[in-house]
Each structure stands twice: as structure tokens, then as C-alpha cells.
Amino acid sequence: MPCSIAISIAISTANLNGHRCLFHDQRGLLACVAPGANGSAVLKSIVHHLLDRSIYYAFDATGFDRHAAAFDPDDGAVDLSGKVCLVTGANSGIGKATALSLARSNATVLLLCRSEARGLEAKRLIQAEAGHDRVHVEVVDMARLRSVCDLADRLQGERIDVLIHNAGALLSTRTMTEDGLETTWATHVAGPFLLTKRLIPRLATGARVIFVSSGGMYTQRLDLTDVAWHERPFDGVVAYAQAKRAQVILSELWAERLGDRALVAAMHPGWVNTPGVEQALPRFYRFTRNRLRTPAQGADTVIWLAKAPAARLESGRFWFDRKVASTHLMKRTKETESDRLGLWKLCEEMTVDKS
């Protein structure tokens, strides 16, 4: 593989923002160095690029450490006093780490959890660690549209600064919700679509809407022909990656539709050591567990997107380790404009009774 990567490298002399582009490969990925960089900086940049191309050494904890070396230490210092942040799936893994960090930055945090007991346990821990009591639990099952509507109704008095769609799961069996939707699609796509739509009037100026997607979506092209898995044997990994692909496209579509009303972002956290991964992918977990990111590392870009100055962000982009990332690694996964419109229409249709 490194050999084919090396062969695919084409020397280029393009200039990007004053940086010299050393090479690009078939996927359009670039390795750039500052003007006047010495030999060791050039070599470092090439190694960095190849490690990122390996996926394994980008999505794992070493990838985070390597990328974090370029983070701006001042970014963590933003105070969120007076801001209201909502996090779905906030009682576990990445969502809990996100909620804790936002609370530590003095935000009021609403933990949107499907189990009240698990939500209250997370609330106790987060309040104790953050040192204030502006942490609240709201019960919602993101896979059930009625439950999403009830939550939106209860939030009518709120002003929302940050809405984080983090709840998710990779399921091994096909189950259908009371709305006639396959549960993976309902949890990741229909539920978040409806919640976003219902909460638009509640969004504060400069609000942020963030989707926690997954690098797994790189393997899939959007396919709307059978999202309920009626016509083929259920494959949980494909259903999950399809839903995560749909989240990324929807974040772009929401960004177009919301314009200056809110900043919309999707991100992927890398491979993170959470109960969700251990349960859903036990073999992958056993093989990688010593290399997985911590939940705090997985949550880092979510938190950064919630806090970074608007001037550093662009709505509708996909982020990884605080940088814009490509949404496709292969030509075959690219959707057409008609697929994108079809996705929006499908989400409208699936949620129409509840809007």
C-alpha cells in the first residue's frame, strides 16, 4: 500500500496560501510546507501525510496526538457563561465527555438522554466535576418521532446556542420503530432532522448545530432505494455508514437553508474507546483497544466547533481534528444533486406529520 501511495504521488509546484504544495495524490490530498522549509520539515510533512493516508494512524490515538500538536492552546479558554448547549446521547462516551467539557466552560448543558436513570447519573457526575448545577436532563428517544416532538415542545421557552446531534448506535439486527422506520435511520437521520427543524425558532443568533458522524461513512455512497431494509438482508455496519453519510449531506443542506441563521457542521471523532464501540464491534475493539482515542479526545472537535470563533469556521463543512476534512475518499461514493434533493424530500416526508 505505501508503495502504491508513493507511485500515485505527483510532484506539484502549486502555491496554497503562501505554502508550497509538495505533492498531491489520487484522492486530491495535499502535503504542504511553509516557504523556505528545510529538508527535515519536508520529510516530516511527507511522513505526516502518509500516516494520515493510512487511516489507521490518523483515526487512532497517535493520530490525535500528532494533529493536536498543531492545535491553538488558547482555543480551550473560551468561556460559555450564559450559553445553552444541548447534547443528545450525553450519558455515555463522546456525548458525556462533550457535555462535561461544555459544563466546565460554564455553559448551561441539557443532557438529552433516552434513559432518565442514566441521564441523572451523568448529571450528578458532570455537576460535581464542573462545580455548578446548570446541568439538566431531558428524556428523549431520538429514534421515536413522537418523543422528539415532545422534547421540542418542552423546549419552547429556551434559547439554544449549541445543538449537538451525538446520539447513535451501530445495531446488529433490524428493528422498526413505531413510525415504520428502521431504527438506525430513525436515530441518526429522521430524529435529528425533526429536532433541528422544530428547534430552528429557538436558535440564538450565531447558534451552532453539530452532527457527530463517523469515518465509516467514507465507505458508502448515499442510497435511498431501501432505507428500511425491506428488500435485502440487514447489514448493521452498512446501515450505520449509510446513516452517517446521510448526516454529512444533511449538514450541508441545513447549512444552505439556514444561511446566517446558524453555523452547521459535521465531524468525525476518529476511533474512540466507548461502550458503544465495545458492544457493537467486539472484535475491532479487542484488536484496537490500546490504540483507541479517549472519549475526551473523540469529543475534542465537537467541543472546538461549539466554541471556536465564527471567523475560524465555515458552515456546511466536515471536520476532523479541528480541520476541514474531505467528505469523500473515493469517486464511487459521490452522490448526485438529485440524490441530495431526494434525501431532503425523504426526511420531509418521514417527519411531515410531526413538523
Ligand X SMILES: NC(=O)c1ccc[n+]([C@@H]2O[C@H](COP(=O)([O-])OP(=O)(O)OC[C@H]3O[C@@H](n4cnc5c(N)ncnc54)[C@H](OP(=O)(O)O)[C@@H]3O)[C@@H](O)[C@H]2O)c1
Q: Annotated active-site positions, please?
A: 240
Residue 87 interacting with ligand X (CB under 6 A): no
Distance between CA atoms of 212 and 168, rounded to whole angstroms?
Answer: 9
**Alpha helices by DSSP H, the chain:** 2-8, 39-53, 56-59, 61-68, 93-104, 116-130, 145-154, 183-185, 191-199, 236-258, 275-280, 282-288, 295-307, 337-351
**Is residue 276 involved in binding ligand X (CB under 6 A)?**
yes
| C-alpha 121 chain-centroid distance | 24
C-alpha cell recorded at residue 127 = 455537576
Q: Is 63 in the site for ligand X (CB under 6 A)?
A: no
In the complex with ligand X, the residue whose CB is nearer, 20 or 268, is 268
* 220 forms part of the interface with ligand X (CB under 6 A): no
Neighbouring residues of 341: CB distance < 8 A, sequence distance ≥ 6: none
Number of residues this chain uses to bind ligand X (CB under 6 A) = 30
The correct pick among 6, 146, 156, 275 for binding ligand X (CB under 6 A) is 275
What is the C-alpha separation between 326 and 319, in angstroms, rounded? 8
End-to-end CA distance of the chain: 49
Position 115 contacts ligand X (CB under 6 A): yes
Q: Point out which span in 7-15, 165-173, 251-259, 334-342 binds ligand X (CB under 6 A).
A: 165-173
Q: Tell me, residue by residue from 123 to 162, as one string, x for binding to ligand X by CB under 6 A and - for no binding.
A: ------------------xxx-------------------
Return the residue of 214, 242, 251, 315 that touches ligand X, per CB under 6 A.
214
Q: Is 274 in the site for ligand X (CB under 6 A)?
A: yes
- Which residue among 118, 134, 136, 202 contacts ligand X (CB under 6 A)? 118
CB of 340 to ligand X, least distance (A): 21
DSSP letter assigned to residue 192: H
Measured CA to CA, the distance from residue 34 to residue 41 in angstroms comes to 9
Q: Which of 102, 272, 305, 306 binds ligand X (CB under 6 A)?
A: 272
d(CA 107, CA 130): 10
Give the x-and-dash track for 28-57 against ligand X (CB under 6 A): ------------------------------
- Please name which of 132, 149, 131 lies closest in space to residue 140, comparing C-alpha atoms: 149
**Closest among 105, 28, 321 to 12, alpha carbons compared:** 28
Q: Minimum distance between the CB of residue 56 and ligand X, rounded to whole angstroms?
A: 13
Q: Which of 45, 92, 196, 315 binds ligand X (CB under 6 A)?
A: 92
User: CA–CA distance from 270 to each of 78, 92, 183, 219, 241 (Å)?
Assistant: 24, 16, 23, 14, 14
What the block records as the C-alpha cell of 254 is 441545513
* Closer of 26 and 219 to ligand X (Cβ): 219
**294 lies in the site for ligand X, by CB under 6 A:** no
Binding track, positions 168-207, relative to ligand X; x by CB under 6 A: xx-----------------x--------------------
CA distance linking residue 228 with residue 245, whole number of Å? 16
**CB 326, CB 318: distance < 8 Å:** yes
**Between 99 and 263, CB nearer to ligand X:** 99
Closest separation in Å from C-beta 330 to ligand X: 19
Would strands 160-165 and 135-139 be described as parallel, antiparallel, or unpaired? unpaired
Binding site for ligand X (CB under 6 A): 88-89, 91-95, 113-115, 118, 141-143, 166-169, 187, 212, 214, 268-269, 271-272, 274-277, 298
